[in-house]
Chain A
Amino acid sequence: DGGITQSPKYLFRKEGQNVTLSCEQNLNHDAMYWYRQDPGQGLRLIYYSQIVNDFQKGDIAEGYSVSREKKESFPLTVTSAQKNPTAFYLCASSLREGLGELFFGEGSRLTVL
């Protein structure tokens, strides 16, 4: 079953701790993205990557970091520098050509205690 898988689905973190969210795709897509979804604010782009070993900051990159060592994987680390990390995080992928559908994962809900 081709698709994009995020884990964990729910995650709790204490203040001051870093946490890494996993995103894996088997669609052979070159481009991958991380979005943050907050109530009433839509989806905001955190980071994106068009090719292995390269990634770009989105609109709200502060307090986050990513890596793209493999085409299939694009993990997101929420660091202790992120002031308001409690949110729903969505990973997506698409063909590198840019136009066409974003395929989203089911999301990861992070709660900071």
Chain B
Amino acid sequence: GENVEQHPSTLSVQEGDSAVIKCTYSDSASNYFPWYKQELGKRPQLIIDIRSNVGEKKDQRIAVTLNKTAKHFSLHITETQPEDSAVYFCAASKYGNEKLTFGTGTRLTIIP
């Protein structure tokens, strides 16, 4: 089955700087890559997703890049703000939401 590895497990960034979280996947047939954000004590929420026919996608301060050849994808957050502090999960699937495999999560802390 699919295996998703996520790094780093923890990340501290000065407010205003950029943060990058990286994930690799094992199944070359995977074609859907969402990112979820889970604030402390709250439910995970989708922040951005990308499909395999696209190399990059942006939404304001958030961007995701995908390298299908290398089987890795990354989340980029620019101009970080305190409200960006959360745990971020990447995921991959070849069946859409039906069998998402999640990474182990990255705890991002924004230092004021």
Contacts and interface: CB of A to CB of B under 8 A. Distances in A.
Interface of A: 31, 33, 35, 40-45, 48, 50, 58-59, 90, 94, 97-102, 104-107
Contacts of B46: 101-102
Contacts of B98: 31, 48, 50, 98
What is the interface residue range for chain B against chain A?
Answer: 20 to 34
Given A42-B89, A48-B99, A106-B42, 13 more contacts: A31-B98, A35-B102, A40-B105, A43-B102, A44-B102, A50-B98, A98-B97, A100-B96, A101-B34, A101-B46, A102-B36, A102-B46, A105-B43
Nearest to B1: A59
Q: Is the interface of A mostly helix, strand, loop or mixed?
A: loop
A31 B44 contact: no
Given A41-B104, A42-B89, A90 B44 contact: yes
A35 B51 CA distance: 23
Contacts of A43: 44, 89, 91, 102
B43 A45 contact: no
Contacts of B6: 42
Interface in B24-41: 32, 34, 36
A50 B96 CA distance: 12
B100 A102 contact: yes
A43 B100 CA distance: 9
B58 to A, nearest CB: 18
